[in-house]
Each structure stands twice: as C-alpha cells, then as structure tokens.
Amino acid sequence: MNKKGNTVIVYNPLNDLAVSLHGQICHWLEQRGYNVTSCDSHECKAGVVSPKVDFAVSLGGDGTFLSCARLLAENPVPILPVHLGTFGFITEVTHKEWSDALESWINGRLEVEDRMILEVKILRNDAEIGRFRGVNDAVVGVSGISKLVRLSLQLGGYEAGHFRGDGLILSTATGSTAYSMASGGPILVPPMRAVVLTPISPFSLSWRPMVIPDRDEIVISVDEDQRADVLLTVDGQESFPLEEGDVVSITGRAGGVRVIKSDRRVFYEVVRTKLGWSGGPHA
C-alpha cells in the first residue's frame, strides 16, 4: 500500500483509556496508509518528531493538547484534539467521536482554525537566558503563598504602571477560559489575535483585566527588594525562576497552533455547556 502521509499521536501512556484508544487509532490510520509516530505527552519535546508530519492527534485533555501544540509550534500542522471525558474548552471531539472526526478530516469535510500563541523571552543583564512558547498563557507571579510580588509593566513601548499582588497572567484567546477566566478575565473567541492581561489578587483595586492587540509587546520587569521568590510559568507545565532585575518580553504570534474543528459543536456551545449557561431566568 502506498503511504498517504505522516501523523503523530500524543497521548498519556499512564491512562488506560488513552492506551486503548491509541492502539485503535494507530490501527485505523495504518490501515488507511498512514505512517504513525507516537509521543508520550509528558516527554514530547521539539525535535522528537519529523518536520514532515501532515497532521497530529492529541489524545487526552486540554493539557495533552497544550503539550502537542508546543511540540509542533515550530512547524504548525493541523491537530485533532480528542478528549477522554466529554469535551473540553479546547478539545471539542469526544473519545466516542474520533473515528467519525478522522474520517471527515481525511475526506476534507472539517475546517482548520489558526490560533495565536505567545512568544516569551527572558532577559537578564540584557542577555537572553530563556525562551518559551505558550499556547494558553504565561504567568509571572509569586512562588509560594502569602507574599506580594513587585512588577513593572510596559505595554507597546509605554510605561503602564507598577504592580503589587500575586502576579500577572498573559493569556491567548485559547487560554482565556483557563487561569485567566478563573481570576476574573474575559472570555475571547479562540481565533482572536489578542492577549488578555489579568492581574491576580492586586493590592490596588484599580488594576483590571485588559485586552491588548497582539502587535503590542508586553514587558514585565521584576522590581528590586522582592519579599518572595518570583516564577514564570508557561501553560501551567513549564516554569523558570526569575531574579530581581529580570525582564520578561511577551509577544503574540499568529498561526502558531492549527486546530481541526469539530463539525458537531461550536465554541459557544462548549462555553454554554461548561459554564452552565441555561439561558433561562435562573441562569
């Protein structure tokens, strides 16, 4: 049989349902002429898969999708996110729908949605010491509890103020339904190219969430005289300890993630279901 293309499946080998479905999906794809590479969601890193991958399957929850998306961010390809529960904010396809979704995708009946990611750089003494990509969010905050961090903020090259509180969340539209929403930030529809700035427990009530165009660079500086350790966390999965004087630069990059959309539900339905919006007088 002539091979049709290459695909990668990212899954959690410690999850029994993921292991079972992984075997079924591999067999299904191989029967249709695809080369399949598998990747542990806890260990997948850039460079472990061929740049010639045509599409990917994320088999798990939203966290597995984030690992898969960062893995492929250098050369984004369409990702079919399959959820092992019902469905998540990102993973709209349930584990009972995977074969129908793959069949529809292979036959050209599903659309691909391009989404923005965050490019995060850390500077120390004007030298770059770290670089990350965030699909959901980047958080500069306190490492521990019951302490304030002191941060300075610049937006689009202009000084925006000095922050005291638990930290600042910078989220994509994809990540606006995660930590940002839990901290009072707005929900953005995923294709939107914008960054949500959400303060976490600010000392001053004048700090409010703000939506910033993706073209504007966001710069956070760690002030002197900190009383707590400061930590950068990306997608809740990668972290980097910051020191006084460090600078974190965050910019948006369009098209860093490509998501294969379900034809059975839309984002508004996911939000309504997940948040329990009944639409009636008791909503």
The C-alpha torsion from 92 through 262 and 194 to 51, rounded to 10°, is 100
Q: Which residue has the higher pLDDT, 48 or 65?
A: 65
Query: For residue 47, what pLDDT is reported?
Result: 53
Task: State the pLDDT confidence band at 46, using cuts at 50, 70 and 90.
Answer: low
Query: For position 280, what pLDDT does the model report?
Result: 54
Residue 134: predicted pLDDT: 95
Within a domain: 270:
yes
Q: What is the pLDDT of residue 2?
A: 44
DSSP 10: E
With a cut of 50, say whether residue 185 has pLDDT above it. yes
Q: Are 122 and 238 in contact (CB under 8 A)?
A: no
Tell me: the pLDDT tens digits for 238-282? 999 999 999 999 999 999 999 999 888 788 888 888 888 866 555
Q: For 160-179, what is each residue's pLDDT tens digit?
A: 999 999 999 999 999 999 99
Does 40 reside within a domain? Answer: yes
- pLDDT tens profile 2-45: 457 899 999 988 889 999 999 999 999 999 999 999 988 887 76
pLDDT in tens, 128-171: 999 999 999 999 999 877 689 999 999 999 999 999 999 999 99
pLDDT of 1 reads 41
Name the band, by pLDDT with cuts 50, 70 and 90, for residue 227: confident
CATH code (residue 140): 2.60.200.30
Residues 121 and 105 in one domain: no
Tokens found for residue 119: 């490019």
DSSP state of 135: S
282: in domain: no
Domain co-membership, 101 together with 122: no
Q: How many domains does the chain have?
A: 2
The answer on 95 and 27 residing in a single domain is yes
pLDDT in tens, 72-99: 888 899 999 998 876 567 767 888 999 9
Q: Furthest-apart CA pair in the chain: how many Å?
A: 66
> Is 57 a member of any domain?
yes
- What CATH number corresponds to the domain at position 49? 3.40.50.10330
Q: Is residue 283 part of a domain?
A: no
More confident call, 273 vs 125: 125
Angle, to 10 degrees, between the axis of helix 98-106 and the axis of helix 16-31? 30
- Cβ 134 vs Cβ 118: under 8 Å: yes
- The range of the structural domain enclosing residue 133 comes to 116-254
Angle at 79 between CA 90 and CA 33, to 5 degrees: 145
Are 229 and 131 in the same domain?
Answer: yes
CB 138, CB 118: distance < 8 Å = yes
Report DSSP letters for 192-252, one per residue.
--EEEEEEES-SSTT---EEEETTS-EEEEE-SS-SS-EEEEETTTEEEEE-TT-EEEEEE
Query: Domain check: are 13 and 92 in the same one?
Result: yes
Catalytic residue IDs: 62
Predicted local confidence at residue 282, as pLDDT: 52
